[in-house]
Chains A and B, each alone.
Chain A
Amino acid sequence: MKISYACLLIICLIFLAAAFFLVFIFFTPRLVSPISGRLISESEISFEFENADYVILSRTGEFEDSLILRKGVNLYLEPGTYFWKAKSNIAESEVRNFTIQTRVSINLLEINRSIEIINSGNTEENITVKNNETVVYFVINPGEYIETEKGELNIEARELE
């Protein structure tokens, strides 16, 4: 059976289109989670994606000052809105955003005659410690703590202005 060059050309064009289609379907990076616009208050966040090598994360939608996250890389994310996309060596995904909400949280340890107040949230906290006689204000960074004497105490934490 003889196949003309024109037929061969058409067959090659069909195969080429099929190959492009396969690349588009199976190898375009896709984002799984977090979904766009998600508000996150947990302290840990996982980026899940398919068909990509790494995630690009930025505070701006234009990805001006972006960070590259490879699988298994940890980093500290401060509260705020972030934009992210996944990228492979041939294509990149759509852009999604999520917001890490501030979390005001305090832990209190009673140790002998003193009390340790720990900022266990993810934002700078303004802490007011009141007892019968005095009111004292502290600003504590996440993870830091202050010590105060035990007694009738009223401790209030709020996000720093």
Chain B
Amino acid sequence: MKPYCLLLFFAAVLILLIENVYAIGISPGRTTIDISQGTEKSFSVEISNSEAKDMKVLLLVKGELKDFISLSEKELAFSPSESEKEVSVKVNLPDDILSKYGKHVAEVVAIEAPENKVSDETIVGVSMSVVSEIVVNVPYPDEFIEIDLDVVSGGVDEISRFYVSLSNMGEKLVNNIDLKLDILDSDGEVVTQLKKEKVDLAALERKEIGFEWLADVLAGTYKARATARYGNRDAVVEKEFSIGGEAVELILVYVKDFQLGSIAKFNAVVENKGTKEYSTVYFDMIILDEQAGIMDEVKSPTDSLSSGERKEFTGYWDTQGVKSGIYDSRFTLYYGEKKLEKRFKIKVSDNSIEIIGATGMAIASVEPGYNLVNILIAVIVVLFIAVVVLGIIVTKRRKKKKIERGVRIVK
């Protein structure tokens, strides 16, 4: 049997194996209520139907504050054309909550319960739920700083970024908060210490302070420890992170010079940041159709990847009969005995394929008029010179006239 026939056979088997796909989402995942703004608050949560199918969602409130929270809907029915729906949340807290210092939590739970069905002689019932937390922080009468840390780690000799968030959970202004960030290696030895200017935080104010560190260290696991010193107290948070991450890293996946109906060339740029050489490296990308069935598979040839090397791996996808749209895909990069898995969305248009995750894109709605700007700048410069020259001439002529007048008076 030819290799591509074998591939088609496996793809067909996988399509048959996938029986169902369910999806549900909620945003935001957490809402924090500032009690100093009052005990009443309204906001909305968004329930998403990302698989665009008929779906029924039950909504309920749980947690210690459930009696003080009401929802505009208790049940939502989605049709395939409805990708999201908003639900209003009203929070009306009792006055005595102000004497209960600290954190209080409630949960808005969205549940999708597919119908029970029989499969392989087993009754299968799956219930899926997603939770949006509502957090109420009641300020402490004293000074109280909460600290949190977010790490966006880079590779070796790259910038790693640290975001320290400081929240004043007390009722008083806290002055001169001294903030430092220690980076520790796996033995607990301080590799470097980063400092920032002192910070002031008003009651219930939150600030985020960014640190940057050029990781000129070996790949491995490190720990970031942020310390905020205020008065005689320390608020400390620690987080482990890895530099270099996976030894083999997927840098980029792109497709260029594409026309729908032709063969798309998927290029995956891969870098080996470790010290070991891998003799078998390749990628496999499964493209799913709208029902999450396997539509196609893109596979690159196997190649080696030595330490420190960056290489492009290429796979081909025949888009004959493929429609424009957004498709889910499962990308797996195999290197040696290991694998790196990613989920991408593939946006197929008539003349481009975009590989997207959660992305931002800059769009200039009007092209900047460079030429006109340059002309205007030139005009300004010329006019400025003319004004200066004319100013000098006019001043000189006035002086000359004054002198001439003086001579005439003397005569």
A residues with CB within 8 A of B: 5-6, 8-9, 12-13, 15-16, 19-20, 22-23, 26-27, 32, 39, 41, 43-55, 57-60, 64-65, 69-81, 88-90, 100-113, 115, 118, 120-123, 142-145, 150-159
Chain B residues within 8 Å of A69, by CB: 360-362
Given A120-B23, A121-B25, A157-B131, decide whether A48 and B120 contact each other with a Cβ distance below 8 A: no
B residues with CB within 8 A of A: 14, 17-30, 46, 48, 50-51, 107, 109, 119-120, 122-133, 150, 152, 159, 161, 163, 208-210, 212, 292, 341-343, 354, 356-366, 368-369, 372-373, 376-377, 379-380, 383-384, 386-387, 390-391, 393-394, 397
Kindly report which residue of chain A lies nearest to residue B25, judged by CB atoms: A105
How long is the Cα–Cα vector from A13 to B386 in the complex, in angstroms? 9
Cβ contact within 8 Å between B380 and A23: yes
Cβ contact within 8 Å between A110 and B21: yes
Cβ contact within 8 Å between A5 and B379: no
Q: Closest Cβ of chain A: how far from B284's Cβ, in Å?
A: 15
Extra 5 A-B pairs, beta carbons < 8 Å, given A75-B359, A108-B23: A16-B387, A80-B163, A88-B368, A101-B27, A105-B50
Q: Closest Cβ of chain A: how far from B77's Cβ, in Å?
A: 19
Contact of A51 among B48, B366, B390 (CB under 8 A): B366
Cβ contact within 8 Å between A41 and B133: no
The 6 closest A-B pairs by CB, nearest first: A105-B25, A159-B29, A102-B29, A41-B27, A101-B28, A158-B131
Chain B residues within 8 Å of A153, by CB: 125-127
Q: Closest Cβ of chain A: how far from B297's Cβ, in Å?
A: 15
Given A45-B361, A65-B210, A153-B126, decide whether A107 and B131 contact each other with a Cβ distance below 8 A: no
How long is the Cα–Cα vector from A154 to B163 in the complex, in angstroms? 35
Given A9-B387, A32-B365, decide whether A111 and B19 contact each other with a Cβ distance below 8 A: yes
Contact of A104 among B14, B29, B372 (CB under 8 A): B29
How long is the Cα–Cα vector from A6 to B391 in the complex, in angstroms? 8
Cβ contact within 8 Å between A152 and B123: yes
How long is the Cα–Cα vector from A73 to B175 in the complex, in angstroms? 41
- Enumerate 6 A-B pairs (CB-CB under 8 Å) in ascending A order: A12-B387, A47-B360, A65-B161, A74-B354, A79-B29, A144-B343
Given A20-B380, A80-B163, decide whether A104 and B25 contact each other with a Cβ distance below 8 A: yes
Cβ contact within 8 Å between B129 and A43: no
Chain A residues within 8 Å of B341, by CB: 144-145
Cβ contact within 8 Å between A81 and B129: no
Chain B residues within 8 Å of A75, by CB: 359-360
Cβ contact within 8 Å between B46 and A43: no
How long is the Cα–Cα vector from A109 to B130 in the complex, in angstroms? 16
Q: Closest Cβ of chain B: how far from A94's Cβ, in Å?
A: 16
Cβ contact within 8 Å between A60 and B362: no
